Structure 1
Amino acid sequence: MVSILPASHITDAGRLLMIQFILIYLLFVLLAMFIALLLSSSIANRIIAVAYQMESVRTGRPKPMKVGLGCDEIGVLSDTYNYMTGEINRLMDAREQAAEDLRKAEFRALQAQINPHFLYNTLDMINWLSQTGRKEEVTRAVQALSRFYKLTLSRRELMNTIGGELEHVSLYVQLQNMRYENCATLVIDVPEELCGYTIPKLTFQPLVENALLHGIRMTEKKTGSILITGWREGDDIVFMVSDDGAGIPPEKLDSLQEGAKKAGGTNPPASGTETGHIGVYNTNLRLKSLYGSQYGLSFNSHPGTGTEVTVRLPANRALS
């Protein structure tokens, strides 16, 4: 049998088959490219995520990555990074805790240096009152001294409320007035709302002692007034301890100002030792070590007119 097919029919069928083959080929190529793009995008995104997480170490503590990055090499890399991050954070926590413990130890050492002779002088005064038969004054002195050291040594904490420190310095002046026959008048002008904020223990007492012994007691009359004022200034609290005593000579004032600007070191300068301002120096150093170099003491004095000491510290409310 002989079949006769038109040539155009065979040509059209071949062309259609060729087009179908090309379309199927292009479909597989596009599918392969899409799969390859997905795979490369997934790998690249995970690598970029690890890189960005490592880059964040430049601006702060390392933070662990989210789990679930797979079990391949990138997953192993992220798991290793998370382990390293945990170890670094633990070491940083230990270092910060050690630094905090050292700071508190230095703070307590400086605090212990302030006015150790006050107790001996007060006990000598009480002994003298007792020998002269002034029993009522002995009772008042013992009660004031007991309250004074109860406020100083209670609970071995570094901080006190501002109200507690003002009571503490009032007792100090009361005891000194018993010793020096009412030589100083203490005036406290501090708003009541500030009394609930915190302040390091023994902040006011060395300043008032300096005003009394190196200011008022150095005048011809040996009597005078001490004024403590306080106010809120933004996020800080500022106090001024002023007296109308003899003032500080310019050369000694310069050494105090220079020492007040320094935040390092644990030993007072030689000038501080010579002039008896160790307590003031240590108070300034304690404030700077606790809060930072922007806080502490500043001085203003003119011989014959008195001295002003400004105390700046952050406003931190006491926990109830």
Structure 2
Amino acid sequence: MAITTWPQQQIDGGWPVTFGHDATEGHRTRGDYQFKTRQGLAPGSTPRGWSLFIGSMLTHHQIATHPLIGRHAPLLAETARKVASVQIRNLGTWGGNIAHGEPGADPPAALMVSSAQVELMGEGGRSRLVAIKDFFLDYLTTDIREGELITGFLIPPTPPGTFSAYDKYTLRDDGDLAVVGMAMRLQMTPAHQIADLEIALSGVSVVPIQIPRISERVLGQTLTDPVIKDIAEYVKNACDPLSDVEVSSEYRRWVIEALITKQLSSFSEASSLLLSRTMLRIKVLSPLAKRSLC
């Protein structure tokens, strides 16, 4: 109804339409938000200091295709491409998605492993930052206070040597909410040892969760099969997946283990290929270097 009545207007994601809410609470025309078109709510993505600032009204499609995001936060672009359907990606915003607090949504886990901060603005233009890991309080409950809107997200720079991915398992199709969603960010040293590992899960609890102390467990190790198995075992036992009408807790544990094993194995292959290319380049350049010294 709102789309056909105001086809040229943007739909604000600060108040998601849910059952029990009056439909007028679910949309506001652009005219209602002229005073909020300062940097943050207006669609856009700009560097802010050493962080990337993503405006809350960027749609999933815009995040998936924005060159700045693809270059500086590729995990977020990848995740945005896996949200729901084409129609929803074209209209839905990350501000609305995060404000809703849906535990099976895709963006929260990706933002968690990216160490993102949520920027909130209240009456009088007062703003505050909340770490995304502290933003979700309970089922469909977030740290948005009375009179506040999400204006955007601050994303720290991606360190060199970083591999990242988002994957999910659904019961119906790829556009469905995640039964288990898994975001992972792995940083490797030049010697191809683990420098940092962050894993976050969606769909397994009433809020998205980040796995604690996983990085210190594997720091300095290489991605061998035993290490991958140990990480998968640790993660599936570090959380307490819920059981619901769709799947059991044990089923979710099995999916968690499978997703993590699959992704870490993929990272291991990519890291080995990168190392092989580096060694080949050294061998090719070595005779040239000797020749230049003659």
- Fold-level similarity (TM above 0.5): no
More strand by proportion, 1 or 2? 2
TM-score under structure 2 normalisation? 0.27
More helix by share: 1
Bigger Rg, which one:
1
TM-score, normalised with respect to structure 1: 0.25
